[in-house]
Amino acid sequence: MNMASIKQGLEALARALTAIKQAKDLLPDEKIKDDVVVAIENAEREMKIGESQTAYEMGYEL
Q: Let me know: does 57 contact 41? Beta carbons within 8 Å.
A: no
pTM attached to this predicted model: 0.76
The DSSP symbol for 28 reads: S
What is the per-residue pLDDT across 12-26, written as a single tens digit (0 to 9) for each? 999 999 999 999 989
The DSSP symbol for 59 reads: T
Of 21, 8, 15, the closest CA to residue 54 belongs to 8
pLDDT at 35: 95
Q: Let me know: does 52 contact 62? Beta carbons within 8 Å.
A: yes
pLDDT at 1: 62
Which residues in the chain come in under a pLDDT of 50? none
